[in-house]
Each structure stands twice: as C-alpha cells, then as structure tokens.
Structure 1
Amino acid sequence: MLDAPVPADESARMAALCGLNILDTPPEERFDRITRSAQRMFDCPIALMTLVDSERQWFKSRLGLDVPETPRNISFCAHAILRNFPFVIPDAAADPRFADNPLVLGPPHIRFYAGIPLRADNGALVATLCLIDRVPRSFSDDDIAALCDLAQWAELELNVYTIKQATEVSREKEARLRAIVEHAGDAIITIDDQGLVETFNPEAQRLFACRPDQIIGGSFSKLVARHYRAAVTSYVRALARDGIGDGVRINRQVFGQRSDGTRFPANLVVSEMHINGRRAFTGLVRDISARRRKADEMKRLNRRLAETLSLQQAILNSNNYAIIYVNVHGQVIMFNDGAQRMLGYSEAEMRTQSSLLVLHDPAELEARVHALSAELGRPIRPGAEMFIAKARERLPDESEWTYIRKDGSRLPVLLSVSAVWDDENALSGFVGIAQDISERKKMENMKNEFISTVSHELRTPMTSIKGSLGLLAGGAAGEIPVRAKVLLDIASKNCDRLVRLINDILDVEKIESGNMRFEPVVQPLLPLVEQAIAATHAFASPFKVSFDLRSDNGDLMVAADTDRLIQVIVNLLSNAAKFAPPGGVVEVRLLRQPGYARLSVTDHGPGIPDQFRSRIFQKFAQADASDTRPKGGTGLGLNISKAIIERHRGRIDFLSECGVRTEFFFELPLAA
C-alpha cells in the first residue's frame, strides 16, 4: 500500500481548513443536497464530502457510508488533494497503490473511486467531493466534467459567509445543476406523485424521439412498452403512497418505447425526493441495447468455448498419447487419460513435477544431464531443469526415453517437450507429449538384425573377392591385357566401396545396439588431428586439395578413444576434400574455449542446400541421392560421427553459406 505524501504546503493547508470552522460540526442539508445529487446522477452507492485533517479524513456529508471518519494514511482522498486535478481509480484492486489497502480488502470494499479536490478561499486543497463504488467502473470525460461542476458547487458552499453570497451561490448552483441535467449522458426524467412527467432533459428527448411538449404533463407510462404500462402505472401509485426512502434507489430493467413505436431495452433507476413537502421521483434511463448485444454475444462465445474445450478434452482423453502439462510452479495440471492408461498411474498420484521422475530410468537421467550440459554450454542441474531447459529457451526438444510403468515394466517413448506462453508472452508452463514407440523399436530391431546379418554374411565373400581381384591385378594368373586391367581396376574400386559400406553399416549397428567399445584415454587432441590429416592426404590428392592446420598454443587435453576420434576427423576431412574446389585449401582449426576444445574443418565449396540441412546427420542422408551423383559416399559417415562425438559427451554441428563456405565442427570437454 502506498501512503499519500504530505503536501509541501501542509501548514498553510491545515490553517485554511481550520479557518473554515466546519470540522466536527453537525450535518447540513446544503452539503447533503450535493452528495445526494451526485449519488443520483452517477448511480453510485457512496457519495462523500471529505475534509482531510492532519491524521484523519472526516466526512462532512456521507451517503451510503456508516463511519464518520477513517485514518488519513489509508484514505484515497489524501491522494486526491495532492494536486488540483480529478483523481479517478477505475479499479482499485488492479492498482498497485491501493490493491492491498484495508478499505479495498475490507469495508467499504472500494473498487472505484472518483474525487475532485476542493479549495479554501486561499487556494489550499482542503477537501474532496468523491464517489465510491464496490465494483469497477469506467468514468468518461463527460462524467468528470459533471462531477467537477458539482465540486464547484461544494467548494462554494465551503466558502459561503453571507446571505448575499448564499443567494448568489444558490443561483449559480441552480444554473450548474440545470447545465448538468441538460448535458447528462443519461435520460433524466422527473415525475410527480401522480406519475406525471415534470421534466424531460435533452438526452431523454433524443432517446425517446419525443419533444418535451409531447410528454410533459402526460403519464410516465407512455414511455414504456405497451405490455408494461399497466404494471408501471400501478407501481407508480404504490411509490406515491409508500415512498422509497431517502438514499434508497430502485433499479429495474424494462423496455422503453419511442414515439415511433420502436422498443429498446433500458435500465431504469428511480430515487425519491421531496419538493415542498410532497413526494416526487427522479428516473435515470439508459439504453442498454449495446450491452444486451454484447452480453448475448458473450453467451454465444462462452457456449462455443465450452464446446471447443469439451471437444479438446475428448480428443486429449481418447488418443494414445500421454499428455502431461506442468505449470511454472511445478504443479501437474494435466495427466490425461492416455498417460494414465500408458503408465498405470492416476492423476492424483502425479501432482508435482518431482513425482514425474519416478517414470524415468536413473541412468538415462544422468546421461541426459551430461548431454544437455554439453549441448547448451552450461551446467544443467539434475531434476526438472533437464526436461525444460531447451523448451524454456524456445528450442525444439524431442528425444527418446524409457518410461517405467507403475508395475515396473519398461516402455520406450518419444517425448516432445514445449513451453507454453500466454498472450502477453509470459511463460505459463510446459507440456510434454509422449508417444509409445514399442512397435517402431521392434521393427527397427528386426531391421537392424537383418542388416547386421546380411552385412556379416557379405563381409567374408567380399574379402575373398577383393583378395582375388588383387591377385589377378598383380599377375598371379599371368599377363593381363590392358583392357582387362581397366575392368579389374573398376571392379576393385567398387569392391572397396562395398567394403566401406559394409563397415559403416556394421558401425551403425554397433552404435545403436550399444556394442561399440570405447576406450577413452586422456591425451592431447592435436596429434590425433595430425594423424587424421596424414591418413587423408592420399584421398585428397586426386581432388588437388591441401589442408591448412592451425592450433592454439598449449596442449588441448581430452578423454578420447583414439581410433574412433580419428575416424570422425578423417570423415570430416574427406567430406571437405570432396566438396572443396580443385586446388582449394581446407582450413583445419583447433581452438581452446571455456571448458571445451573445438575442432573445425572448413571448405569453400558449394555449401549445403537449405532443404537438406535438417537431415544431414540422418542415416543414408545425401544432398544428391541420385545414382549419377558426382561425389561418392555411403551417407553414413556423419551419422556415425555424431554418435561417436556424443558418446564422448561432446557435440557436433555445422555452419554453411551456399556458394561461400561450409564449416563442420565438434566440441569435446577438456580433461581435468
């Protein structure tokens, strides 16, 4: 809660307030008339004339409020007197200055406040004329202008000292009140105790399409729809007989009728007044056609929304996906029927994000922490962060996990995690969608077993064929004609290609089955790069490509399996040599980064097409997959390289600009 600051002229202000000789005096009709007018005019439950004392706000006139005063430090009026402008709070609960104010949280439960400061004769702001409502509401410029007119009336009353002044003020008040009625945004109609219309302001004339001479002196019932008229006539008679009571208003919704016979829904507020000892009534009429249309439209929208939500819920509960939604506080908001069927847990058993960890294999969680830390370049804590770190950064996150059901059985799933953002772009939660991939895994295992079996069965005869071709080319069967040597050379090269393909397929099978052995040894990375370049020179020579190696000073020590890491580097170097322009230079750079060693291989060839970039690390992926492609290769090298680097807890990626350059790089953690 924000306490109002004390004005700079507080001493002079207090002197002016005391000089009015009005504090703690009995109620006066001249002030009550003003608050009564304000209450009726604005259809507001509370209207006050408030004097802001040193430690309190005291109410000279109060309608709709029982207490005579409240502390100054929690008062809205103490804010209103800080400057000579209207002070309007449409919704106190939404205003940080007042949201926790006791007068908002407790009686009188202020939600709307509009106050106009009142001046003493020396200009000091000593009081306010204010309106209070218990619901939020808007306050137009016309409303402010009308309240300012009433405030000037109140200000004059504060400073009246003589009968002459009072007479002048009375005339001015009458003129102001007439102006307020004439320019009010609502139709204002006064009727006598017989139900006859006495006044009919311009807004009433516009609303009912009726001139004053057509209605003044006539029955008020003419202004309502025909089927309401008998009831309205009887109702007015009852009011004339029994009255309403001071400060009490009757609020009804009726149908008005214009002079041309058209009808419209209206809100009617009736209050009682006394003129020369007899009852009279003021009716405020407001056309609520637009409000009715909005309400009807809102009902239609709510029905459509309910239908949409019902449809969405039916879809969510009928599919075979496990859908889990967690808010930013870690509370599980949704654990759909598909998740309950798939995993055996009820929604009640999965109320918090931490309870979801029971679904996961601890070994997979540990591997995820290391892999994600390497991928994002920052440490990731075990726990919820490992699931939401990428989604929080708006990165796609789709990975395979092994879920553990309630009965202990295991289930392979593909889990996609996404962040949910509200219409103000604020993070509201995370949604995980898990798909059972058991059947897919079975098919993959069958395929892998088939490929592995075929590859092993092919490897032995291919070795024999390669050896026999070598013997023939070496003259073991006698002199070979020149034309036959050409054919033997073609056969030998294609045999080498098939052997490489078989070896690559077997490597992929070993990686996917977890049977590829890794024997990491802490060693400097530079010698491995030099060995890989030496091993690739013969391959690069036909392309007339050379390698330019540069390294940061100092040994970059990594824990690596020598053969497997050289396999990755050779693959990157041979790819760069194939695609570099003839006579080009492949740039090889070994750099130290915080916590990591980075090796990059850059060629200045054609680059990687945009449509191929998302598939470049997939198995058998090639930008040119035609039978007549000019560049050889199995399409497995990068897939194998990615698996090897990730087993080293590193990451591999690329940057490419078509027609300019392509850079492949991997990063490995530096050894301690």
Structure 2
Amino acid sequence: MAERPALQDDAKVSMIVEGAELADGGEGDADMAERRRLGTLREYRIMDTGPAEGFDRVTKLVAELFDAPIALVSLVDDCRQWFKSTYGLDVSETPRDISFCQHVVLSEEPLVVTDVVGDPRFADNPLVTGDPHIRFYAGVPLRAYNGAILGTLCLIDRKVRPALTDAELDRLQDFAAIIMAEANLHRTVAERDDVRRMLDRALDFSAIAIWQYDPRTSKLEWRGATAELWGSDFDTALSGVGGAIDRIHPDDRAQVQLALRESTDGGTPYAVEHRIMHPERGVRWLAIRGDWDVLANDALLTGISIDITEQKSRQENANLLMRELHHRMRNLFATVGAIISLTRQAAHDVDDYVERISSRLDALNRAQNVLLGANFMTGSMHALMREVEAAFPRIRWSGPDLLLPENAVVAMALVFNELATNAAKHGALTTRDGRVDIIWSQDDESDADRRFHLRWSETGGDGRLVAPERTSFGTLLMERSVRNNLGGTIERRWEPTGLVCDITLPARWREA
C-alpha cells in the first residue's frame, strides 16, 4: 500500500453531517497560499492531459470497493475543477464556484457530506438540483510534495449514505496517496524531459556531439550537434563505426583505427584528434574523447566530439608566425652584424663609431616598431614616416600609404636615417630655417612598367653644400639597400641649399 502523505499537525477530519458547517479559516496569507498552490499544480503539467491507465484503474477500484456509482480524480484550478480520471461520469470539468472539491482544497482536510440537501452550502448547487443529482459526497485531499492541495479523490452517490468509518476514510486516503505517487511520477518524467531538451539545446549551442559505440555490433548512437560536426546525413551515414571511419580524412584513418582498436582491446580511454571530410563544410578538425561504461556484462564506449578547426588554424598561424619571426630575427641579426663590422672600418675614432652605430640601430628600431604595430610581415609607409619625423622634426612628407614587406621597411628605414643624419650634420638641417621634403608616388596601374618614385629635397641650407670627395659607408649602405634589397636606383645631386635624392623602384607595393 502506498504511503500516504502525513497531514499537518492541526489537520482534523471534518465529518460534516446533515448541514453542519465548516469553520471559516483566517484569511492572512490566503492569496499568497493560493498562488503557491496554483504554481505547484502547473509544475505537475497534468491539467488537460489525456486519459492515464494508472489513474483510471484507481477510480474504478475505489468505486467498486466503496460501492459508489461515481469516483473522480479532481484537480482544482483557479476557475474550474478538471477531472483527470472519472468513473461513472461523462463530464470532464465543472466551474469551481459550484465545486464540492474546492472546500477540501480550502480546508486542506477530508470532507464527507452524508446528505447534501440538508447542507445550506450545497442544497441549491446545480450539481445537486440537476444532473448528476448528488446526495452523498466524500473527498480527501491530493497533497503535493510541498504540502499544497491540488484537488481531491472523491466518491459521489445519488442517494444518502452513512458517514465513512475511520478505517474507510484511511483507505480512501491511501488511494489518494497512490494517485499522488502516479502524479509525482508524471512530474518527474516531465522534468526529466525538460532537462533532456535543455541539455540537447545546450549541446547544440556548444557545438558538442555525444556518441556511444557498441563494439559487439559496431553500432553508433548520436546526440547533440552531430549534424554540425559530422554532416546532416549522420543518422544514416554514421549509424555504424564503419561509416564514421569512411568520413575521416584518408591521411588520418590509420591512426584513428589503431587508437580505437587499442581502446577496445585494453578497455582504456579513447582520445584522438583528426580531420574529417564534412559533406557540407569541407575539411574540419575534431577532438574525440571517450571512456567505457560497463552495464551488466556489456561495455559501451561513450564520448564527445568537439570541433577544433579554429584552434588548429590559430595554432598553425602561430607556428607560421614563429617561423617567420625566427627568420626575421636572423635577418635582423645579420644586418646588425654587417652594420657593426662595416661601421668600424669607416669610423674615425671610438666616439664616432658609437655615434654611427647608435644612429643606425635607431633606424632598425624604427623599422621594428612599424612591423610590431602590424603583423611582423608588412609595415605601413605612413607609420615609418611618422617614426622618421619623430626623430627628425623638420622633415615633411606626403604620398599614398603603402604596405611594405619586412625587408623593404628595414631598407627604407636605413636609407632615411642616412639621409637625415647627413642633412643634420652637413646639409640643410644644420641651419635653423632648413627643412626636408619627402614626396613619393606610384605610376598608374595601366602602365606596364609601373615604378615607385621618391624624392628627398633639402632646402634652406647655408649655400655652401658641395658633393663629398669620397664615398662614405653611409652612401654604400643606401646604395646597397636600394639596389640590392629593393631592386631600384638611387641618384643624388648637391644643390647649394641642400641635397636632392631621387629613388626609383619597381611598383610592387599595394596601397594600405
């Protein structure tokens, strides 16, 4: 026999016989209690559901045991009472305001009325004066898990009957406990289904597919975001492990089969990363993890699939960047070594050597600042010129912003440094009114032999500038940078007020 929920300590069976009235309860928090009760009723999600064998068997058994023509499982909503199960009555619901069961809900106690005609609350009730012509009523509460009264299990007769004995009332309450056990099972199943739906949705959003592999049958079962990870045809194409193996990238199949065989033979966890040929999305990377569940004598491999394509792409980009950075650093060290060696041969003394080395290392630092501000592989012409202008404030420049590769950024930085240093020591920048203008442009794209043109113009000098008597290391450095590194030409002429330098290169740089 099902355990009946215990009544509250102050609950007493009210045996209403021939017109006796229920005592009114205090109002207090009645509205709040009713809202709580209705909320609990909604939790069960049982209102307006179809017939259930478990409920119908109880009402039939109760009617036969108590020799009553009518037995009902009545659930009381805010404005109606609805019958989840009926025996001997074809009506599915009645208004709450004429309901007998609402009195049980309000009092939270059993109610037995032996002759409803003699009770002023029910004498004029349409259910008494009309069909089904109620004369006897006995109802016990259907008490929810939290104590809320959802409705009643009740007996109805069309003739006056004696009151139920204590033993009969206890038995009726035992059947009410059976009804609530069935209702609680329904609630638990509904909550489980909600959790499962929520989990499925969460899996869809998280792009995780759950799988289970039976090694005896090679059968695969899937849940979650399987269509996204493996293809929309997964339910047919991947019903067995063979179909999944076929979808794996040919270069990765052998390692996957070996890992699966070792896991199956040893009962060890399964973990692989491999590519698949996704029918809609092309090649994708998946990370697969699984472990064994032992059920009775059966062992099933259960796991997850996660798309790691983006992580793999970022990892590959990082590796590429590190290789590129390593290459750049080797080039940079080689350039620094050459500058140190050749500057030593051209320097007059230690102080001159330190000054020249520091100046050229500053130029390399400007180039690296430009590359660090981008992606290590290209740099902006405008960014480079801003670095030059910061070091030599009286330099002005104009021209389109171009994307220079790393070697061009370094070469141009060294060229500008040598020109600016010479201008500051010997040229236009030695005077207060001297200045430098740098202008560059590229030929039209329709020109088959497009060229990049840059002019360095010094003005405002003291008028005594003449061409140097010998070729300095700085000049050799500029010529090597332009001719050897950039494949162009550099021409210089010395005007009385300053140097004019024209640089021409192949137009290989695109605009930023």
TM-score (norm 2): 0.30
Larger-gyration structure (1/2): 2
Higher RCO (C-alpha 8 Å, min separation 6)? 2
TM-score (norm 1): 0.23
